Amino acid sequence: MALVRKARVDDILQAYRLISGYAESGLMLRRPLAGLYENTRDLAVVEEDGVLVGVGGLHVMWQDLAELRSLAVAAGRTGQGVGRQLVEFLLDEARQLGIARVFALTYQRPFFERCGFTVVTKETLPQKVWTDCIHCEKFDSCDEIAMELWLAPPDSVRRDEIPLVERPFWVRG
C-alpha cells in the first residue's frame, strides 16, 4: 500500500534519482542534491514497501503564492494515481498554510488540468518565480506551460496589511 508523507532526509537520495531521471530527459528542471537537502521540508513522497515511487514539492514564494515543483513518478508507476496523490497532499498542505494560489511550470498540461489547474500566461507570475530558471538550459527558450489553481478567492488576500516597503514590486499596486 502506498503512503504519502512529508519527506525525510533519508529520502533525498531516492528523490534525487527520480527527479534526475526526468531532468535528463529534458522534462524537468534539474535539482542539485544539496538543494534537495536544503529544501527537504518542501518535499512530500509516496512510499511503497520502503521504496519511493513519487516525489513532489510545495515551495512558498510569497504570502499568497506557492509553486508545486519537482513532481516525479517512478517509471512503471505513471498513470496509477501516484502523481495525483502527491498533488492532493501538497494542495492540502497549501490550504493549511493559507496559500491562495498554487502554480506549476510543466509539460504535463492534461495531468494538471485533471487536478483542477488552468493555463495562464507566464507574465501573470511574478519575476521571483524565475530565479531557479536561470540554471535551466532552456532559459532563453522556455517551452514549459504555466498553470495555476486558486485555493481561495483572489480578493481574499489582504495585501494592504504588508508595509509598502516590504512588498515585492508585483504587489505594490
Tell me the average pLDDT across 46-71: 94
pLDDT in tens, 101-148: 999 999 899 999 999 999 998 777 766 555 665 555 655 556 688 999
Q: What pLDDT was estimated at residue 154?
A: 74
Tell me the average pLDDT across 51-74: 94
Q: What pLDDT was estimated at residue 172?
A: 47
Asked if 50 and 67 touch (Cβ cutoff 8 Å), the reply is no
3-class DSSP assignment, residue 152: coil
What are the helix and strand counts (H, E) for the chain?
4, 7
Tell me the average pLDDT across 82-90: 97
**What is the CATH classification number for the domain harbouring 27?**
3.40.630.30
Provide the domain limits for residue 142. 3-171
Q: What pLDDT was estimated at residue 162?
A: 53
Burial of 110 (0-12, 13-18, 19+ CB in 10 A): exposed
Q: Chain-wide mean pLDDT for the chain?
A: 85
Rounded to whole angstroms, the Cα distance separating 137 from 57 reads 21
pTM: 0.84
pLDDT in tens, 143-158: 688 999 999 877 766 6
Using a pLDDT cut of 70, give the percent of the chain over it: 79
Q: What pLDDT was estimated at residue 159?
A: 58
Residue 99's region, left for phi above 0, alpha for psi from -120 to 50, else beta, is beta
Domain count, the chain: 1
Residue 18 pLDDT grade (very low, low, confident, very high; cuts 50, 70, 90):
very high
